């Protein structure tokens, strides 16, 4: 039951100007994450627009990443299989195991929703069994799926039932439930924190690994935050978390999840735009956004490794 530590970025799926996959960008993306001491990638998740990709596109993205990471023992590749279609999740799980993905993940069905934790556990059993030699994580993000069950109840249902169940990617604000999951069965399971803006609070509970979208373009900020916490400098850690909050507040100001790709353009990694139904910002909004970003001192904690900041869209 090896546990993941450090920052796991949730990469954006790169698209070209016509909205098609731009797989050629992935090697540079991987290289940038490595240079910024990111220890893994959680692909095809919320940030990666997994719900907006076709089955074949998911396979293509997964294969492109796996071709780079399968021999990298220091980098963990995690693949979100999906949640709505159980059969499709099983098919992807089998392919993930074949190409050498380190871990697969599944999130609650959001159309035909599980009636209770028992049904959710049954889904996990069916999907995890499709890739028995690959670590399996449940992805808890009730704000998007509506599957708002206590995760401690899920752990009780699956403990000892799913041999390759490794833990939970926890993207929610219920610290009571999260701590109960961490302490369950003598801290057997790997609990990965998924709210970048609350990292400091999670570190206090003992978190060692986190998955997030802002680690793509601001990993140095969070590494400093973790270092300050480990050193006992809570004032510095507090200030760094506030910088994170101020940065993340721009996502709300300029339209939500698609703003992440605008941040990527500022570190010279153009991943294109988000697909419908997500709204992308206009050229005028991008200029205002860039000005706001610079006021935060973004250049002091932005990810490095790309040649130069990109000025335009």
Active-site residues: which are they?
139, 169
E strand or H helix at 208: none
Alpha carbon distance 151, 174 (integer Å): 10
Q: Please report the DSSP string for 283-313 in residue order.
A: HHHHHHHHHHHHHTTGGGTS---SSS-----
d(CA 254, CA 252): 6
Q: In angstroms, rounded to a whole number, what is the distance separating the alpha carbons of residues 299 and 313?
A: 18
Residues 256, 279: Cα–Cα separation, whole Å: 8
Q: Are residues 102 and 74 in contact, defined by beta-carbon separation less than 8 angstroms? A: no
Which of 288, 212, 299, 220 shows the shortest CA–CA distance to 248?
Answer: 212
How far, in Å, are 117, 158, 266 from residue 114 at the CA level? 7, 15, 41
CB 170 within 8 A of CB 140: yes
HSE of 232 in the Cβ direction (CA atoms, 13 Å)? 0
Contact criterion met (CB below 8 Å) for 125 and 155 = no
């Amino acid at each position: 039951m090896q546990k993941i530590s450090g920052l796991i970025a949730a990469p954006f799926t790169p698209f070209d100007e016509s909205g098609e996959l731009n797989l050629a960008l992935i090697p540079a993306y991987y290289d940038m994450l490595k240079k910024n001491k990111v220890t893994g990638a959680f692909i095809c998740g919320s940030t990666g627009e997994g719900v907006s990709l076709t089955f074949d596109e998911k396979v293509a993205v997964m294969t492109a990443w796996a071709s780079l990471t399968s021999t990298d023992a220091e980098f963990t590749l995690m693949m979100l299989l999906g949640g709505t279609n159980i059969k499709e999740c099983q098919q992807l799980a089998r392919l993930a195991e074949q190409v050498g993905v380190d871990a697969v993940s599944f999130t609650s069905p959001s159309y035909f929703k599980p009636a209770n934790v028992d049904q959710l556990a049954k889904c996990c059993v069916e999907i995890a069994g499709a890739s028995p030699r690959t670590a399996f994580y449940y992805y808890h993000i009730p704000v998007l799926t509506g599957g708002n069950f206590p995760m401690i109840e899920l752990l009780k249902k699956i403990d000892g039932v799913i041999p390759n169940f490794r833990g939970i990617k926890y993207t929610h604000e219920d610290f009571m439930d999260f701590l109960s999951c961490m302490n369950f069965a003598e801290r057997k399971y790997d609990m990965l924190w998924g709210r970048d803006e609350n990292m400091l609070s999670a570190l206090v509970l003992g978190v060692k690994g986190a998955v997030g979208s802002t680690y793509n373009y601001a990993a140095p900020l969070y590494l400093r935050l973790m270092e300050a916490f480990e050193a006992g400098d809570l004032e510095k850690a507090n200030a760094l978390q506030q910088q994170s909050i101020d940065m993340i507040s721009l996502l709300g100001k300029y339209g939500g999840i698609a703003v992440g790709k605008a941040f990527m353009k500022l570190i010279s990694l153009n991943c294109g735009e988000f697909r419908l139904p997500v709204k992308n910002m206009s050229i005028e909004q991008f200029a205002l956004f860039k000005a706001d970003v610079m006021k935060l001192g973004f250049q002091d904690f932005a990810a490095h490794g790309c040649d130069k900041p990109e000025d335009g869209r």
